[in-house]
Structure 1
Amino acid sequence: MKVLSALALGLVLAACTVFPVPESPRLMELAPASDLPAFGQALPASLRVDTPLASDPLDSTRILIKPSAYEYRALAGARWRESIPVVLRDHLLETFRASRAFAIVMTDTSPATSELTLISELTGFHAENGEDGTRVVIRQHLQLLDNRTRQSLCVRDFETTSVAASTALDDLMKTFSAVANDAAGATVKWAYNCGVGR
């Protein structure tokens, strides 16, 4: 009986802990674009928006800070709701659809075929220390591909930046959203003008 009692007490104690359970990280998202580019008429073409290519640590859910040119750090207590490339792809997809630049806009997970594909490589999506304070940076290499000929119609490098009011999470999120909105708007205009030229 003593052995059984000791065993039962051990099992009860094993389920308890004196250490606090850590809180779940806050899941962050980019705010929808508010200043959308306007077009008189949608291009009669279908566009597939591919998920940007990225390597670690950009291919992760971490909110990244660069205190120096040689180091990445992850912001504690918060993360993106999905990996950074997926967050950016979804934001760009929403901006394309809301702007009505193309007749049909789909994601790379769609089984449908498209006439054009937007391909991108992501080399920057972080906050970094600069002379004027903490700034948020997005760097992308973009190609608009004709799916029939497999030729690149247009190629461009984009860098968009803005200085954050502080390093507090809410200020960083406002700046990340503002920079992402500027980058998405510029990308939609560029892709539309490229599509007109084809």
Structure 2
Amino acid sequence: MRSLLQGGKLVGLGVIVVAGLTACNLFPEPAPQDIYRLPPSEVVATAAEPLELSLRIHRPSANELLNTTRIVVVPQGNRLNVYPNVRWSSPAPVLLRDHLLEAFGNDGRIARLSSGSERLQAELELGGKLRAFQVEYRAGVPEVVIRLDVHLVESTDKRIIASRRFAIREKAKGERIPAVVEAFGHASDVLATELIDWTLQQLNESRKG
């Protein structure tokens, strides 16, 4: 009788364990995520003498979706989506700010650079709003789209020297994520080149005035 009871306990425990394992299998493990950074800036140095001034580059503001590590895609119309199982290494505004800072440094025409997070004193500030940092499909072809509203500001009195909207489109060489990320890198460098030239043009004009 005692052995039968012990056997019953063993059988009962076996059922519980199997049931537990079955319940665990009902909840699949989350898929692993690939993390991507923007490719390093390929903006090259110029031969011009650097301007002896300091410029602080701020993280641009952005809407709730762009202000995350998700890689945003617009498959059609106004429908927003994100690529599954992949993400950026930092929120998009941080990625772009750091890329622009690197590009300004590579260019070398402004002597002293800092980011807004460092809170260092600077004569001028570059800030704005990131309105698009996403992939859009045109005729089935993915294109990277970056739209950035920028304002150049004097730090002492917060006077806006100039403002401009930049819009960049760059076709990806394929639909796979690595090709899309490469296109983001190229588009960010095109934006950086235009932004650097525009900033220096505004500084030269303000000095003449």
TM category, shorter: 0.7 to 0.9
User: C-alpha separation between the residues in 2 aligned to 1:179 and 1:190?
Assistant: 17
My pick for the range that moved more, 186-195 or 152-161, is 186-195
Indicate yes or no: 2:50 matched with 1:38. no
Tell me which residue corresponds to 1:26.
Answer: 34
Tell me which residue corresponds to 1:63.
Answer: 71
One-letter code aligned to 2:42: S
User: C-alpha separation between the residues in 2 aligned to 1:52 and 1:46?
Assistant: 19
Q: CA deviation at 1:59?
A: 0.9
Q: CA deviation at 1:35?
A: 3.6
| Identity value in percent | 24
User: C-alpha separation between the residues in 1 aligned to 2:202 and 2:44?
Assistant: 18
Tell me which residue corresponds to 2:202.
Answer: 194
One-letter code aligned to 1:163: K
Q: 1:154 to 1:100 in 2, by over 3 A?
A: same
Tell me which residue corresponds to 1:173.
Answer: 181
Structure 1: tracts of 5 or more residues without a match: none
Q: CA deviation at 1:145?
A: 0.3
Asked if structure 1 preserves the Cα contact closer than 8 Å seen for 2:45 and 2:106, the reply is no
Q: CA deviation at 1:153?
A: 1.0
Q: CA deviation at 1:17?
A: 4.5
**SS of residue matched to 2:118:** coil
Q: In the alignment, which of 187, 193, 202 is matched to residue 185 of structure 1?
A: 193
Asked if structure 2 preserves the Cα contact closer than 8 Å seen for 1:123 and 1:140, the reply is yes
Tell me which residue corresponds to 2:147.
Answer: 139
The TM-score normalised by the length of structure 2 is 0.83
Q: 1:196 to 1:60 in 2, by over 3 A?
A: same
Tell me which residue corresponds to 1:97.
Answer: 105
Indicate yes or no: 2:124 matched with 1:124. no
User: C-alpha separation between the residues in 2 aligned to 1:188 and 1:72?
Assistant: 31
**SS of residue matched to 2:149:** strand
User: C-alpha separation between the residues in 2 aligned to 1:79 and 1:91?
Assistant: 17
**SS of residue matched to 2:94:** helix
Q: In the alignment, which of 139, 144, 152 is matched to residue 160 of structure 2?
A: 152
User: C-alpha separation between the residues in 2 aligned to 1:183 and 1:132?
Assistant: 24
- CA RMSD across the alignment: 2.6
User: C-alpha separation between the residues in 2 aligned to 1:86 and 1:27?
Assistant: 15
**SS of residue matched to 2:40:** coil
Indicate yes or no: 2:117 matched with 1:114. no
Q: Deviations over 1:91-119 (max 9, x none)?
A: 11111112112111101111321100001
**SS of residue matched to 1:87:** helix
User: C-alpha separation between the residues in 1 aligned to 2:65 and 2:84?
Assistant: 15
Asked if structure 2 preserves the Cα contact closer than 8 Å seen for 1:37 and 1:189, the reply is no
From the two aligned structures, give the one with the greater helix fraction: 2
One-letter code aligned to 2:193: G
Structure 2: tracts of 5 or more residues without a match: 1-5
User: C-alpha separation between the residues in 1 aligned to 2:32 and 2:113?
Assistant: 35
User: C-alpha separation between the residues in 1 aligned to 2:172 and 2:119?
Assistant: 40
